[in-house]
Structure 1
Amino acid sequence: MTEPSLRGSLWLHDADLRRYRPLTASTRADVLVVGAGMTGLLTAARLADNGLDVVVVDAGPVGGRNTALSTGNLYAPVSRMADLVARWGGDTATRVVQWRQQAVRSIESLVHRYDLRCGFQRVTMQYGVQERSRDATAAFERELQAYQRVGLSCDHRQSGLPFALGHAFQIPDQAQLDPAAFCQELAQHLVGRVRVHDWTQIVDIDAAAGIARTPDCSIRARHFVLATHSPAGFNLVQAEMEVYREYAVAVPVRDMPAPGVHWIADRQRSLRGVRGTDGRHWLVLVGETHRTGETPATDPAQRLIDDAQRNFRVEGEPMCWSAQQFRSADQLPYIGGSAHDNVWVATGYGPDGLTWAGVAARMIAEGIQGSSNEMDGVLSPMRFTPVRSAAGWLRTNATVARHMVGDRLAAASAGTAQTLAPGCGALLAVDGKRTAVYRDDAGTLHAMSPLCPHLKCVVQWNGHERTWDCPCHGSRFSATGQLLEGPAKQGLTPQTL
């Protein structure tokens, strides 16, 4: 098998991404939604249903960024249910699950309303562990009790995998879809009621003046919705989020696992089967999480491929990709109004993002129209939860401090630009100054400042993805310095060798 390379996801492999006209002339709207992924489009759909004039812009293709890098799983529980119950109590955890159930139903309703061809289906979610050790069994029992406490029906059985689980239970009536197809189909049905513009980057928002700017024009709006995974620029919620990379592979297999969401908790693996448009059976396997900017030496994608080969009959070459996770300090996302009463934020989804997108759409749409509900106080980006957030806040800021100070004091890598191999990058001493240097496959050297434009942390080379990653707040840049994702708003500054 050839060495894996990280590219687009299975959902983008044969997707027909429709192009929308980039915004080139100034305009006005009731609401500007920044981000045309699941959160942005679901919010726009709700606002349009209520008669508001909505503009949606995205710096890339519609549904082609973080949404298209997800698993496509929709489920009511959250990761680490026992921790959620312990932090927030059974009543709040129960309401969280109910909100997420409602979100899945609202997404299903849109699928039926517009006849969206996105492979939506109701499936069972299986939670299991492979080990029968005392620790694994105790952790399993804690999760089972938490699931039951929040009202989820748990069936004590296992099925659908070619290997045995030590313990397992199943939860009915969850869902799966093709997330890229969902966004593409929904956007097409919204055109005419919502103005959609792809490849349009917002470079600045002046909330007080009610104006957002692109490199070419401006948009005046009464409200701004930041549905960009993490708010660009400086935002207080960034100080309370841990940032991780998670990897995924899709491998063609002879026999798929049974339909459903399969979560192997003690291995930190998520599995699902997909029938491709080419008729082949694909196994999607997700895991190997690590902090952004702290890339392991061993290839995470290869470890997933090795797992697939051990447990399934693989019949072809893999597709590999990765995605970013922003995890809040208290395990619930930040959704709602921000410090500016006309700016709305949705971030900190962790690994449970697609369903949170449905929750965010409802909350933000209702908030813009002046309604309030029981979710507002719990999920507000302005909430203050020092006890529930303490551990996460300390980890986040210890990480930032370690890299902000330690990386600046660290010595540059040994070697010179002349000895850098093709396809490799490193922080090197150039004329006595630390410089991020990359040699492309053609042998050309590219040099740039190693300081992230966001808060001047030192970026780190991710050789598995050929990117420069900021370990402080998760900004990522291509090998040659172009901005891939924020919160930075521009790329690394080029330098000369």
Structure 2
Amino acid sequence: MESIWTLGSRGVAEYAPLDGDTEVDVAILGAGITGLTTALALGEAGLKVMVLESATVGAGVTGGSTGNLYSTLASGQAPLRQKWGDKVAAEVVQARDKAVAHIEALVDRLGIDCRFQRLPAYRLLTEDRQHTRHNLNDELDALISAGLDAEMAEGPRLPFDSWGIRIANQAQFNPLHYLQGLANALLGEGVVIHQHSPVREIDADKGLVWTDTACVAAKHIVQATHTPKGISLLQAGMLVSREYALGARLRSGDYPEGIIWLLDPLHSLRSYRHGEDRYLVVVGEKHKTGEHHGDHYQMLREYLESRFDVEAFTHQWSAQQYSSPDGLPYIGRMHGHDNLYMATGFAADGLVWGTLAGILISDQILGHDNPWQARFGARRITPGKSAMQYARENVIVTKHMVKDYLGTEKLDDFAAIEPGQGRVASVDGEKLAIHRTPEGELKVLSAVCPHLKCIVHWNTSESTWDCPCHGSRFDTSGEVIEGPAYHPLARPKGLD
């Protein structure tokens, strides 16, 4: 199923893959919220801009998001305050608030119909109130200290007892419709968007970007790809996770309004209206990419059915998150290259961080001063706040490398692979990713991720091959879906 945001999708002018060499001022990789926000500012400033998108506008993480816009962090303001202190915690809120206001201003100025509306956010307990009351008090104090309008409150029209914190003046919208509105505005500014044009290589020294069919020469190259492509030291400290979402219609009961985080340990709820139809959206079942524990969509269905009177499940989708080792995103010029930019480490807060990234990167390219650039700069070094996660993630990568190379099952033939099943096995000494479609077609690929040679794992919920080391994901034909890998999974030697 597709995400709920595709309801009433307007689409954008279709551009064929780039098929000829060209030269631009700025090449932007990725047509998500980071890429298009950057492109709009640069296009309006008169620069020649090209956006290269591997799939379609908004088809990546932005189109798989919650559509929630908030000034705090989904993980809570208190942990941020504890790690960084009052000054930085307040700066984060101010920067994110500026980004939400930027979205609202663009919606108004460009007339984008994306159901943008201001609503409160809630952090709610559903049981053991007294046990965690102190933590809620810490969170409330951190929110107020950062300048947010927050108070203790009951939950909003939920069919179960809830109580917690209400944060005023946050927002929601349809992220896909917003991006489609931006894309159509870009066309009027002369920005060119090429869909179905995955980038296969970047040479920052020469200012060149290659797709399968063309080479682009650019003065500036922006990697608006959620994580930088190729090999980057920052990837060694990123926690890469997946989270799942369902859309449902209710048989009875209210559709709660607002951004609702349930601390159980963490799910989020929101409602969405399309025409006369209303939907409830639930997000949760977060896990490390490549480490799968059953059918995550079924777990979400059971979660929602135990709390609401569900008539039907209508949509399901997922998205990937990259959490930085020090808790803040990396935005701006990369180490060693003044013409190469990136934006990563958004965790679960990417719509707002992506918008801020578009503002910061376009300001850097245009030579404009921005007060937030130093705080979120991609070249910052924060060993005291990053070392623990760097160490933990590298231990996990090493564990997977050893376990997957030494412990892969051996397979004599492919007859044991059932329809719909995916397995990694050694055949004649080669690590293979083997999948049989529900219709019975056998698809066999190398199981070695082309990024840094980890072994991919089968994602039953999504029928994809996911790398547990740095988050590259591949479809059953081997093509890159997302992550740092440039190239598809290889064809096995014996099947060439």
TM-score class normalised by the smaller sequence: over 0.9
| Structure-2 change in CA distance of 1:352 and 1:165 (3 Å) | farther
1:54 shift after superposition: 1.4
**Counterpart secondary structure, 1:203:** strand
SS at structure 1 position matched to 2:320: strand
Does the Cα contact within 8 Å between 1:416 and 1:429 map onto a contact in 2?
A: no
Return the offset for 1:165.
Answer: 4.4
- For 1:221, the equivalent position in structure 2 comes to 218
Choose which of 113, 127, 138 in structure 2 pairs with 1:131.
127
How does 1:347-496 map onto structure 2 within 5 Å?
347-412=344-409, 416-495=413-492, 496=494
Distance 1:62 1:352 in 2: 20
Residue matched to 2:54: 59
* Paired residues of 2:240 and 2:470 also in contact (CA < 8 A): yes
Contact 1:415 1:428 in 2 (8 A): no
Alignment equivalent of 1:259, drawn from 244, 247, 257 = 257
> Residue 314 of structure 2 aligns with which residue?
318
Alignment partner for residue 335 of structure 1, among 331, 356, 364?
Answer: 331
Contact (CA 8 Å) 2:149, 2:168: kept in 1 or not? yes
What amino acid is the match of 1:43?
A: T
Distance 1:170 1:177 in 2: 19
Q: 1:362-399 deviations in whole A, cap 9, x for unaligned? A: 11111112233332222112111111112221221111
Decide which moves more: 407-416 or 84-93.
Answer: 407-416
Q: What residue in structure 1 maps to residue 78 of structure 2?
A: 82
Q: Residues of 2 paired with 1:171 and 1:8: CA distance?
A: 30
CA contact (8 A) 1:136 1:266 kept: no
Structure 1 equivalent of residue 63 of structure 2: 68
Matching of residue 147 in structure 1 with residue 150 in structure 2:
no
Q: Tell me whether 268-277 or 47-56 shows the greater mean CA deviation.
A: 47-56
Partner of 1:308: 304
SS in 2 for 1:422: coil
Root-mean-square deviation (CA, aligned residues, Å) is 1.7
Residue 263 of structure 1 aligns to which amino acid in structure 2?
W
User: 3-state SS of the aligned residue for 1:457?
Assistant: coil
Question: Bigger CA drift: 233-242 or 341-350?
Answer: 233-242
Q: Return 118-127 or 315-324, whichever deviates more.
A: 315-324
Q: Distance in 1 between matches of 2:354 and 2:170?
A: 15
Once the two structures are superposed, what CA deviation does each residue of 1:264-314 show, in whole Å capped at 9, x if it has no partner?
Answer: 12331110000124x2211110011000010013x2111211122222222
After TM superposition, the score normalised by the length of structure 2 is: 0.95
Question: In 1, are the aligned partners of 2:53 and 2:195 still within 8 Å (CA)?
Answer: yes
Give the equivalent residue in structure 2 for 1:240.
237
1:108 partner amino acid? E
Report if the CA contact (8 A) 1:269-1:285 is conserved: yes
Query: C-alpha displacement at 1:248, in angstroms?
Result: 0.5
2:423–2:435 CA contact under 8 A, matched in 1: yes
Identity %: 39
Quote the offset at 1:158 in angstroms: 2.1
Contact 2:160 2:307 survives alignment (8 Å)? no
Match for residue 154 of structure 2?
158
**More off after superposition, 322-331 vs 208-217:** 208-217
- State the shift of 1:56 in Å: 1.3
Output the CA distance in 2 between the equivalents of 1:416 and 1:146: 59
Q: Distance in 2 between matches of 1:256 and 1:207?
A: 53
- After TM superposition, where is structure 1 displaced by more than 4 Å over at least 4 residues in a row? 413-416
Q: Counterpart amino acid of 1:8?
A: E
2:130 counterpart of 1:111? no
Q: What are the ranges of 5 or more consecutive residues in structure 1 without an aligned counterpart?
A: 1-6
The CA deviation at 1:13 is 4.6
When residues 314 and 415 of structure 1 are mapped into structure 2, their CA distance, relative to the original with a 3 A threshold, is farther
The letter for the 1-side match of 2:4 is L
Pairwise CA distance, 1:37: 0.8
Determine the structure 2 residue equivalent to 1:3: none
SS of 2:300 mapped into structure 1: helix
Q: Following the alignment from structure 1 to structure 2, what is the Cα–Cα distance between the partners of residues 467 and 234?
A: 22
Letter in 2 for 1:446: K
Indicate conservation of the 8 Å contact 1:207/1:343, yes or no.
yes
Q: Distance in 1 between matches of 2:430 and 2:83?
A: 46
> 8 Å contact 2:67–2:175 — kept in the other structure?
yes
- Aligned mates of 1:480, 1:210 — CA distance in 2: 31
Distance across 2 between alignment mates of 1:146 and 1:312: 32
Contact 2:334 2:341 in 1 (8 A): yes
How many Å separate the matches in 1 of 2:125 and 2:150?
A: 15
Residue 335 of structure 1: CA displacement? 0.5
Alignment partners' CA distance in 2, 1:229 and 1:24? 25
Aligned to 1:17: 11
Letter in 2 for 1:351: A
Secondary structure of the corresponding residue to residue 284 of structure 1: strand
CA distance in 1, matches of 2:476, 2:208: 33
Contact 1:160-1:257 at 8 Å conserved across structures = no
1:14, 1:426 → 2: CA distance? 37
CA contact (8 A) 2:158 2:256 kept: no
1:63-110 deviation digits (Å, cap 9, x = unpaired): 122110000011000122111111111101101100000000011000
Task: Please give the alpha-carbon distance, in whole angstroms, between the structure 1 residues aligned to 2:430 and 2:169.
Answer: 57
Q: Which moved more, 1:452-461 or 1:436-445?
A: 436-445
> Residue in 2 aligned with 1:270?
268
Quick one: which amino acid aligns to residue 191 of structure 1?
A: L
Letter in 2 for 1:72: G
Alignment of 1:294-305 (within 5 A): 294-297=291-294, 299-305=295-301
Normalized against structure 1, the TM-score is what?
0.94
Equivalent residue of 1:151, what SS? coil
Q: How far off its partner does 1:166 sit?
A: 4.6
* Offset, 1:416: 5.0
Matched residue pairs, number? Answer: 489
2:158 aligned counterpart, secondary structure: coil
